[in-house]
């Protein structure tokens, strides 16, 4: 079945350290991939998306993600984490089912940033 997996439920990093959040997808064709961020008690905001072309995608807030077809991955990275990056991060893939397209989310990775 087509799906998206985020293996890490919770990650803790120190402020200023680098960050990588993992996302793996299961999809036959070239996927449409997204990363969203959710601050506590709020809605989601799009960080970046990949449709085609350059496999390294730049997003807002200094985030980037790299699409690796051979590994079925779309990992999110940031070279230096700020305390304000503490949030929950969701990877998502567009799923085609029954002639319609829907956005399917992973279960999320909660990021804690230590001072």
Query: In this structure, what token pair is assigned to residue 15?
Result: 């402020």
61, 69 contact by CB (below 8 A): no
**String of contacts with other proteins for each residue 52-91, x by CB under 8 A:** --------------------------------------x-
**Count of chain residues binding other proteins (CB under 8 A):** 23
* CA distances from residue 78 to 7, 41, 65 in whole angstroms, order as listed: 18, 23, 9
> Per CB under 8 A, does 22 bind other proteins?
no
Instruction: Work out how close the CB of 16 gets to other proteins at its nearest, in angstroms, rounded to a whole number.
Output: 28
Q: Which of 41, 48, 102 is nearest to 77 (CA)?
A: 48
Residue 83 DSSP one-character state: G
**Segment lying near other proteins (by CB under 8 A), choices 15-23, 45-53, 54-62, 74-82:** 45-53
For position 20 contacting other proteins by CB under 8 A, the verdict is: no
Q: What is the SS3 assignment for 59?
A: coil
- Give me the residues that bind other proteins (CB under 8 A), please: 9, 32, 34, 36, 41-46, 49, 51, 90, 94, 100-108
């Amino acid at each position: 079945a087509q799906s998206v997996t985020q293996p890490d439920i919770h990650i803790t990093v120190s402020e200023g350290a680098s960050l990588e959040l993992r996302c793996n997808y299961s999809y036959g064709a070239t996927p449409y991939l997204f990363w969203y961020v959710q601050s506590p008690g709020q809605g989601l905001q799009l960080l970046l998306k990949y449709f085609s072309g350059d496999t390294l995608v730049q997003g807002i807030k200094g985030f980037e993600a790299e699409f690796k077809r051979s590994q079925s991955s779309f990992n999110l990275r940031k070279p230096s984490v700020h305390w304000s990056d503490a949030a929950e991060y969701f990877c998502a893939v567009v799923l085609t089912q029954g002639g319609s397209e829907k956005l399917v989310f992973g279960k999320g990775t909660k990021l804690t940033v230590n001072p």
